[in-house]
A and B are shown apart, each in its own frame.
Chain A
């Protein structure tokens, strides 16, 4: 069965303390891996798409990387406004198999 597991469930950082969030997956035939940010009471907001192992994407303090079994979201020198839940999702194929499979998210809190 295709699965996506995110760790840790929650992460507390001090402002400026860099860290990484993990998304591991066991799927047959990865077509794409997606990272989203979700603020409380709002819908997820798209951050990155990664399609192949070795690929990296960056946006401000965030950098996403992909290997054959997992993805990391690196947060460099985070600020309080980076506090949110970060969701990872994978896409494995066409038709209904092309639907995204979501992890349960990592809730990040950044304290000033």
Chain B
């Protein structure tokens, strides 16, 4: 079964810490995405990547960065975690073209 795997289901971090969220897909998809999901706000796109070493800002990139050194792996980095980054983070991947996304199970991040 094809998968998008996020490294952690739950994380608790302290304010100011540097946080890494890892995502790996085994479908040889070109495109990868990071979203955050908050009640009432829906899914909001943080960053996406169409190819290795490429990245593009989504709707809410402030306070985040990403890295894609290998096709299968897309990392989200919180440079200095803040309490307003407490959220559910979802990684997704897709083939190029008009196809839907495959999502990971999500990481529930709490910043205290």
Contact = CB atoms under 8 A, between A and B. Distances in A.
Interface stretch (A13-21, A64-72, A99-107): A99-107
Interface string B69-112: 00000000000000000001010100001111111111010000
Nearest to B107: A43
Contact of A99 (B42, B45, B103, B105): B45
A45 interface: yes
Contacts of A23: none
Given A99-B45, A103-B42, A46 B98 contact: no
B100 A100 contact: yes
A49 interface: yes
B11 interface: no
A104 B100 contact: no
B98 A98 contact: yes
Nearest to B90: A43
B60 interface: no
Interface in B37-61: 40-43, 45, 48, 50, 56, 58
Given A87-B43, A100-B101, A103-B42, 17 more contacts: A32-B98, A32-B100, A34-B101, A42-B105, A43-B4, A43-B92, A43-B103, A43-B105, A44-B90, A46-B100, A46-B101, A49-B99, A91-B98, A91-B100, A99-B48, A104-B42, A105-B42
> 10 tightest CB-CB pairs across the interface, nearest first?
A43-B103, A104-B42, A34-B100, A31-B98, A102-B43, A32-B98, A43-B106, A44-B103, A43-B105, A43-B104
